[in-house]
Chains A and B, each alone.
Chain A
Amino acid sequence: AQKVTQAQTEISVVEKEDVTLDCVYETRDTTYYLFWYKQPPSGELVFLIRRNSFDEQNEISGRYSWNFQKSTSSFNFTITASQVVDSAVYFCALSDLLVVGRDDKIIFGKGTRLHILP
């Protein structure tokens, strides 16, 4: 069965600190996608990144970076030099579909609430 675990329910850090949000997943598939989404206090959902299981290269986008390690089934998200605007709930998700036509499902973790304190 597929599963996504975000063990950190809530994290608080002081502005400008770096923070890493953990995501551990379980799947029997060899091909899959991993995602991160952000939900700020205003409530909308924002797609941050999609990574396929063939690509283990780390990705950096501005202050955001993602570390994908198949060996530990983890897809961790780091915010460098955090800002108050980064305060949000962050969700990690897993999808087992890479081939059009197969059933696809997206499994979410329970989210990590991140507080950036000024």
Chain B
Amino acid sequence: DIQMTQSPSSLSAFVGDRVTITCRASQSISSWLAWYQKKPGKAPRLLIYWASSLESGVPSRFSGTGSGTEFTLNIDNLQPDDSATYYCQHYTTFPITLGQGTRLEI
């Protein structure tokens, strides 16, 4: 199975800051990577697919980069509503696996 490792596990930032979350795959996954936002009691929300494609309706403050084994999720101009846990997920083959999550506190 492909292992997905995120860093950091948690971080704190201020309104207006820019943050970067890193996701590493245990083997190359090309660009078959998605990023999700999860808030307590809410459904997960797709942010990014194909490593860098922004899902419709997602603010352009969110962006994704990378290919192969190293990926990043960047969030510019942080807003209070961005407080959530963020997950990367590969979908190059089965089983689909996700990172352990990065908890972001604003």
Pairing of A with B = no
Task: Give me the interface of A with B, judged by CB distance under 8 Å.
Answer: none
